[in-house]
Structure 1
Amino acid sequence: MSSPKQVIVIGAGIIGASIAWHLTKAGARVTVVSESGAGGVATPNSFAWINASWGNPEIYFQLRIRAMAEWKRMASDLPRLPLVWCGGLCFDLPPDRLEAYAAEHSSWGYGIERVDARRAGQIEPNLAELPDFALRVAEEGVAEPVATTKALLADAERRGARIAAGTVDRLALGNGNVTGVVVSGEIIGADDVVIAAGAAAPAIAATAGIELPIETPPGLIVHSRPYDKLLNGLVLADRLHMRQTAEGRIIAGSDFGGGDPGEHPDTAARELFAAMKAMLRGADGLELDFHTVGYRPTPVDGFPIVGRAEGAGGLYVAVTHSGITLAPVLGLFAAREILEGERDVLLTPYGLERFAR
């Protein structure tokens, strides 16, 4: 009987946590290495919207809709995951583009309801101004990002994974292959290394001569102090997306990824919070608690980079902007590919080799 595969996962954000959990559950011996601790860097700054919404080709929609199904599968294994299918109310596009989105995605099987002002008021009665036309997708949801990541890592640890704090100096190389990582001068060996380190991924990959074409645009998100319930689900309004967390905080960005904070993020945060507060009835006592500026790891073509890196045996890369939505499906598919050599057809467009072409 062969011994379990030794895998190092670099990064403890939601993508790294999901890959580590799926690998451990499948029998691998996993070490998670992270400088920032559970939650990583980008994950705590996420709006955390789970969706297969507008603006993407059908092939990417299929990956995202599969991811939504995998969230439900993962939640059945971990019933305490802070996952809520609260639905989303969308009116952040002109009516003609909303209608085009509804027609296209409905034909793909997405459960879209066309909504007038009266129905919008039933869904979100505390909106100060109701849209004449909006779209409702009841199957969209939210996973509280840090709590979800910690739950995955805790269960992976319970199953035998090791969580190690430290900075990855470089990838260890031998005969053209990646054989482990060097952490604070110490080599940790492995059969495979997974880079799931978000914005830090390009610098780590470069130590093995691998270029990752990734941008890291900033995103400003404001967080209120906990407050009475004002929102039932996600509200995707023109230049303002908002939701209320499980502890009662209302969080918002100029879109779901957050907007550019500019040169004065404190001022931008106050202005954004004022705009959010003005959109809500019953929000007189709502107070700004803090804001975050996250740097979103975004491949230059906007789509995930997931798969083995050609020219560096033993290295697997998983970097994407849509980490919250895609986490469970990328964890499942990555674990299968690393342990069994089986690459799911839904990952076909998202290998690193597409940039060489």
Structure 2
Amino acid sequence: MEIKEREDSEMIEQDIALLVPGMKLAADVCSADGKVLANNGSIVSRHTIEKFTAWQISKVFIAAETPVNPITDLNIRQFINEYNQSVTFIQKAFDDIRTTDQIPVASFECVAGGLVEKTSGCGNIIDQLYNLPRCDDYTYFHSVNVSIIASMIARWLKLPPHIMNAVSMAGLLHDVGKARLPADLLHQPHKLAAPAYEHYRQHVAYGYELARQSTQIAPSILDAILQHHEREDGSGYPYGLKTDKIHPYAKIVAVADLYDEALTLNHDPADTHFTPYSSLEKLRDRLHTLDPKACLVFIDNMLNCLSGNQVVLTDKRQGRVVFLNTEQPSRSMVQLNDQTVLDLSEDPDVRIQYVLR
């Protein structure tokens, strides 16, 4: 990796693991063969981070005026390490389950507890999940993401620590039945033809059967595995259960699952419209099918951290979100770089395309 144009000392060397959207590059970033990957002065986006990771860039220089809080950075560094280790564990665990048909329960409990612990000091860490480089298989990081989001929802609901840990465990195991599915069913299941999709839906029953073999897994977590696709109005599967028949853990995992799915599984790389703003809109649109308490506490807390983000609009203009439209977050008010304030609710052709920070 080569970094060019170090013109002054007003820069900070930053590990890629701590790079976040919105930071400003203070030098060109080049590949080993001299290809310019990003220019001096560019604003870092999630796509930039993924590109640097793909080219095995380990460090870059950012502008010194970029705010860096050493305590926050330490927490985030610890979280990122825990996250990466958890994804690696899930990948290996799924491989082992395919061979042994047994869940290493103690190891899953250790990972779930570690995720709860490391996220507790990072505020709302959920946005950070979507700035991290992806592994090759959606299933692995999705399991970790759902575990983290579910435990955050439990925290926002002010549930006791032992329930936060249990919900984290439920999130980590919610898709364990996919270990019994062929790999070709796991990528973009929403595009599967009817017979294949019916087979895919069996993952909840497979997961329940796997988990039930262990006496160490609580019945409440078994219910969450089996019921996380059930919906309040009876439109879910596998049994079409309604409100009072669905376990509370399953209701929390359902919200986490849908949010992460909207930002990852259904995200066509050519379509950058799947942002935290649009994903929250999708959750609000489905409010009648989800537990309102879990869903609304999640939406409200996420909205609190989305104001002030630097964003790019569909017409390529950039600006900062200055006022949130709580009903349609992707149509909030944005102050453009020229200081003009644009109300996206009044312009149907423009909306937030992606988030810089």
TM over 0.5: no
Q: Higher relative contact order by CA 8 Å / sep ≥ 6: 1 or 2?
A: 1
TM-score (norm 1): 0.26
Higher-strand-fraction structure: 1
Higher-helix-fraction structure: 2
